[in-house]
Amino acid sequence: MLTDDQVAGVRANFPILQEKTYLYSCSQGALSYAVVAGLDDYVASWRTSTAPWDVWMGAYESLRVSFARFINAEPDEIAIINSASGGINPIASALHFDARDGVVMSEYEFPTMGQIWLAQQPRGARVRFLDGVGNAVPVEAYARAIDERTRIVPLTQLSFLNGSRSDVPAITRIAHDNGALVFLDGYQDCGTRPLDVKALDVDFFVTGTLKYLLGPPGLGFLYVKRALIDSLVPTMSSWFAQRDIFAFDTRHLDLAPSARRFENGAPNIPSIYGAAPALDLLTRVGMENVAAQIERLARTFLDGAKALGIATKTPASSVGPLVVLRAADPAAALAQLTERGIVVSTRMDGVRFAFHVYNDMADVHAALNALEGMQGLMVSA
Ligand X SMILES: Cc1ncc(COP(=O)(O)O)c(C=O)c1O
Give residues with Cβ within 8 angstroms of 288, minimum separation 6. 193, 194
Please tell me whether residue 85 binds ligand X under the rule CB under 6 A: yes
Residue 156 binds to ligand X (criterion: CB under 6 A): yes
115-140 as b/e: b if 16+ CB within 10 A: ebbeebeeeebbbebbebeebbbeee
181-185 and 150-156 strand pairing = parallel
Residue 340: CB minimum distance to ligand X, A = 25
Residue among 6 and 85 whose Cβ is closer to ligand X: 85
Minimum distance from residue 224 beta carbon to ligand X (Å): 17
Q: Which of residues 59-78 bind ligand X (CB under 6 A)?
A: none
Identify the H or E element spanning 285.
helix 269-285
Binding mask 27-66 for ligand X (x = CB under 6 A): ----------------------------------------
Instruction: For residue 112, state whether it binds ligand X (rule: CB under 6 A).
Output: yes
The yes or no reply on residue 237 touching ligand X (CB under 6 A) is no
Least distance CB 110 / ligand X (angstroms): 3
Q: Which of 14, 110, 204, 205 binds ligand X (CB under 6 A)?
A: 110
E strands, the chain, in order: 21-22, 78-81, 102-106, 126-130, 150-156, 181-185, 204-208, 220-224, 322-326, 342-343, 345-347, 350-354
DSSP 3-state percent helix, strand, coil across the chain (nearest 5): 45, 15, 40
Contact region with ligand X (CB under 6 A), list: 1-9, 51-59, 80-88, 95-103: 80-88
| Contact status: 187 vs ligand X (CB under 6 A) | yes
- In the list 208, 274, 304, 350, the residue contacting ligand X (rule: CB under 6 A) is 208
Q: Which amino acid, residue 176?
A: H
- Distances, alpha carbon 215 to alpha carbons 13, 25, 115, 272, in Å: 13, 11, 25, 9
Query: Which residue, 162 or 312, has its beta carbon nearer to ligand X?
Result: 162
Q: Does residue number 188 form part of the binding site for ligand X (CB under 6 A)?
A: yes
**Contact with ligand X (CB under 6 A) among 38, 216, 220, 234:** 220
Question: If 0-12 CB within 10 Å is exposed, 13-18 middle and 19+ buried, where does residue 232 land?
Answer: middle
Decide: is 155 part of the binding site for ligand X (CB under 6 A). no
Task: Tell me the closest approach of the beta carbon of residue 156 to ligand X, in angstroms.
Answer: 5
Rounded-to-integer distance, Cα 189 and Cα 222, Å: 15
Nearer to ligand X, 83 or 135 (CB): 83
Least separation in angstroms between CB 167 and ligand X:
17
> Is residue 262 close enough to count as binding ligand X by CB under 6 A?
no
Q: Are 113 and 154 in contact (CB under 8 A)?
A: yes
Q: Given the complex with ligand X, which of 13 and 271 has the nearer CB atom?
A: 271
Q: CB count, 10 Å around CB of 236?
A: 13
Using CB under 6 A, list all residues that contact ligand X.
83-85, 110, 112, 156, 160, 185, 187-188, 208, 220
